[in-house]
């Protein structure tokens, strides 16, 4: 190598060194820059993907969550197909916005993108700093922010739209699903577990356990995260803090059990068959929302997904082995930290990633394993520590940061009240018997029946029955589905569970963007309803109804 090249490399290294020194000496400012970059990239993403007002690609499950929250805000327990965590969060917001997902979107978007997102970045910094110093923490935070966007060109052209329009909007917080809040809570919990491994860190363990319990309340599958803390506490022999961690989870688990029991009249893991019948009006194959984990590692499904990864990603082998290389790098710095991060990551990837509903080809794989992806990125960010002589050269920059801030007892009490007491109070105060007529299941999705959002008037004229309706929903362009019964009689079929689940039993007779419809061949004694629908591409052939009108009968004539 020529002298000139060596000189340039040394000069470049000197510039990098001065930059790192500057960044680590002003950590708060450096983190502010990273968070600002995170928000700018989020704004760029939403401006570049298909969206309809505030509405991006969602998938449909968000309607069940939001409707459950709206019902909970009005003292009603919905059929507990989903868990109580996210409905409890959105319930107070629905007092402001009303019942629909589109009305709620600005509030949940700001909450997730502008508040939860930066909190996740700070948690990643804290994890990196605890392991290998402030420079490593800043590096990990930067990797977390940039990695989703840098990964886009690594997919084949035909897959990139699915990655950006369907996954990145979820991974950035632009949807109302519980996956993104789960991801952030798991990240913060990981940082607190790592802190609790220090001697005498009982308060950190209690706070971590409270958050872990809330994560399970958001999605029961987040119990997979516990593999990491269990391995870390066992390896570090921190039995006392492990007990405090477990005890702090108990209130959330009690609330989840009560939520299921009060809504179903039984518990799914005790009487799953009878529960399915009660929930699904005789449909024994209805999913129950993963109250228990019935998805051990399935080799055939995992091979299918890895085959699809090879088809769409530039190097499946690199993606598969990178976290193990990163775990080896972390292991050299902190063995409990290595098993904490790798244990939780593999628990999600191997369990959720090998279920029959997880598919890389349709993008569902990424959403199902989303809480593991920031942990995966942490391991990838650690790989440079394996470069020979690099740790020695970086020496002073790789010293683990001091514990510094510690949670106060007052903070622990406030968090326990917000994340444990408030959800319990909502569930106890709610009544499963008050929900009759307030919601309806349409195409396997629970939606509100709300006169204040859509109200129908039917009049009879010479040409038939004319329907006219209002639409007070906001934040997205909408269209309408018109339903009619085949004659006199009920327009729905309801279950026998305490939280009654009623499914729409009407024929769809029209899809229109107009707010009127003429039925030229009315049926005597028929009942009409109108559903408001929207989707991220504003296409009348796609999307789901998200709010339904009360029924209106055929006028006499």
DSSP state of 290: -
Whole-number pLDDT of residue 288: 42
The residue extents of the domains of the chain are 3-395+409-428, 440-553
The class of domain 440-553 in CATH terms is mainly beta
Angstrom distance (rounded) from CA 553 to CA 124: 57
Nearest to 194 by CA among 152, 228, 148: 228
Query: Both tokens of residue 199?
Result: 């001697």
Whole-number pLDDT of residue 289: 42
The Cα-based distances of 400 to 43, 58, 131, 136, 458 in angstroms read 34, 40, 5, 9, 71
Give 472: exposed, middle or buried? Use CB within 10 Å, 0-12, 13-18, 19+: middle
DSSP assignments along 171-184, one per residue:
HHT-S-SSHHHHHH
Non-local (6+) Cβ contacts of 533 within 8 A are 478, 479, 480, 481, 511, 540, 543, 544, 545, 546
Whole-number pLDDT of residue 133: 86
E-strand ranges in 113-272 read none
DSSP state of 313: B
Residues 29-42 pLDDT 10s: 999 999 999 999 99
Nearest to 431 by CA among 8, 71, 21: 71
Whole-number pLDDT of residue 192: 96
* Cβ 501 vs Cβ 445: under 8 Å: no
Angstrom distance (rounded) from CA 242 to CA 115: 29
Within 10 angstroms of residue 377's Cβ, the number of other Cβ atoms is: 23
Angstrom distance (rounded) from CA 64 to CA 351: 24
Angstrom distance (rounded) from CA 529 to CA 267: 34
End-to-end CA distance of the chain: 96
Query: Both tokens of residue 175?
Result: 């949807």
Give 37: exposed, middle or buried? Use CB within 10 Å, 0-12, 13-18, 19+: middle
Whole-number pLDDT of residue 296: 67
Query: Both tokens of residue 261?
Result: 């029991």
Whole-number pLDDT of residue 18: 66
pTM: 0.91
Residues 511-547 pLDDT 10s: 999 999 999 988 988 999 999 999 999 999 988 999 9
Whole-number pLDDT of residue 389: 75
| Tokens 């007892």 belong to residue | 409
Angstrom distance (rounded) from CA 313 to CA 160: 10
Angstrom distance (rounded) from CA 288 to CA 280: 10
Per-residue pLDDT for the chain (557 aa), expressed as one digit of tens each?
556 544 554 554 455 566 677 777 778 899 999 999 999 999 999 999 999 999 999 878 899 999 999 999 999 999 888 899 999 999 999 999 999 999 999 999 999 999 999 999 999 999 999 998 888 899 999 999 999 999 999 999 999 999 999 999 999 999 999 999 999 999 999 999 999 998 778 999 999 999 999 999 999 999 999 999 999 999 999 999 999 999 999 999 999 999 999 888 877 655 555 444 444 444 433 334 443 444 467 888 888 989 999 999 988 899 999 999 999 999 999 999 999 999 999 999 999 988 888 889 988 999 999 999 999 999 999 999 898 877 777 777 777 777 777 888 999 999 999 999 999 999 999 888 766 789 999 999 999 999 999 999 999 888 899 999 999 999 999 999 999 998 898 989 988 878 888 999 999 999 999 999 999 988 988 999 999 999 999 999 988 999 999 999 988 76
Q: Which residues are bridge partners to 545 per DSSP?
A: 533
Within 10 angstroms of residue 55's Cβ, the number of other Cβ atoms is: 25
**Three-class secondary structure of residue 547 per DSSP:** strand
* Cβ 142 vs Cβ 162: under 8 Å: no
**H-type helices in 265-315, by residue range?**
272-280, 299-312
Task: Give the DSSP H/E element, type plus range, for residue 11.
Answer: helix 3-25
* Cβ 480 vs Cβ 511: under 8 Å: yes
Three-point CA angle 188, 215, 108, nearest 5°: 85
Torsion of CA 256, 216, 306, 314, to 10 degrees: 140
């Amino acid at each position: 190598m020529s002298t000139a090249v060596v000189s340039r490399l040394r000069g470049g290294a000197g510039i990098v060194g001065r930059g790192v020194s500057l960044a680590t000496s002003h950590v708060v400012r450096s983190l502010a820059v990273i968070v600002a970059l995170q928000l700018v990239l989020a704004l760029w993403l939403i401006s570049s993907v298909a969206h309809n007002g505030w509405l991006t690609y969602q998938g449909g499950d968000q309607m069940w969550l939001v409707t459950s929250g709206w019902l909970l805000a009005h003292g009603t327990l919905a059929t507990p197909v989903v868990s109580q965590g996210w409905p409890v969060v959105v319930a107070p917001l629905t007092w402001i916005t009303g019942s629909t997902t589109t009305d709620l979107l600005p509030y949940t978007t700001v909450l997730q993108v502008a508040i939860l997102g930066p909190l996740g970045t700070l948690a990643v910094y804290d994890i990196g700093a605890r392991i290998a110093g402030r420079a490593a923490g800043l590096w990990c935070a930067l990797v977390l922010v940039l990695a989703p966007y840098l990964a886009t060109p690594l997919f084949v052209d035909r897959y990139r739209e699915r990655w950006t329009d369907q996954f990145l909007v979820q991974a950035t917080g632009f949807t109302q699903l519980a996956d993104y809040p789960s991801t952030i809570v798991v990240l913060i919990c990981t940082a607190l577990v790592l802190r609790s491994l220090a001697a005498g860190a009982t308060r950190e363990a209690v706070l971590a356990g409270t958050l872990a319990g809330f994560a399970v309340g958001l999605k029961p599958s987040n119990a997979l995260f516990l593999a990491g803390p269990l391995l870390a506490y066992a390896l570090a022999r921190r039995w006392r803090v492990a007990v405090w961690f477990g005890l702090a989870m108990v209130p959330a688990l009690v609330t989840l059990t009560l939520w299921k029991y009060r809504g179903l009249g039984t518990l799914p893991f005790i009487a799953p068959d009878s529960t399915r019948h009660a929930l699904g009006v005789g449909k024994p194959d209805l999913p129950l929302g993963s109250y228990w984990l019935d998805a051990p590692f399935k080799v055939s499904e995992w091979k299918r997904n890895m085959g699809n990864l090879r088809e769409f990603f530039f190097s499946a082998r690199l993606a598969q082995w990178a976290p193990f290389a990163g775990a080896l790098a972390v292991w050299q710095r902190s063995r409990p930290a290595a098993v904490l991060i790798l244990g939780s990551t593999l628990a999600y990837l191997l369990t959720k990633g090998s279920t029959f509903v997880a598919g890389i080809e349709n993008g569902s794989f990424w959403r199902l394993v989303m809480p593991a992806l920031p942990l995966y990125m942490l391991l990838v960010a650690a790989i440079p520590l394996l470069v020979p002589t690099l740790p020695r050269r970086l020496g002073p920059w790789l010293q683990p940061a001091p514990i510094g801030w510690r949670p106060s007892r007052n903070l622990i009490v406030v968090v326990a009240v917000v994340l444990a007491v408030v959800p319990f109070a909502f569930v106890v105060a709610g009544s499963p018997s008050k929900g009759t007529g307030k919601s309806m299941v349409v195409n396997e999705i629970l939606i509100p029946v709300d006169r204040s959002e859509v109200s129908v008037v039917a009049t009879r004229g010479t040409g038939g029955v004319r329907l006219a309706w209002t639409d007070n929903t906001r934040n997205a362009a909408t269209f309408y589905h018109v339903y009619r019964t085949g004659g006199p009689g009920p327009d729905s079929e309801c279950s026998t569970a305490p939280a009654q689940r009623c499914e729409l039993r009407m024929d769809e007779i029209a899809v229109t963007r107009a707010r009127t419809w003429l039925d030229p061949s009315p049926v005597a004694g028929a009942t009409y309803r109108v559903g408001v629908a929207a989707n991220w591409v504003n296409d009348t052939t796609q999307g789901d109804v998200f709010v339904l009108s009360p029924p209106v009968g055929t006028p006499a004539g």
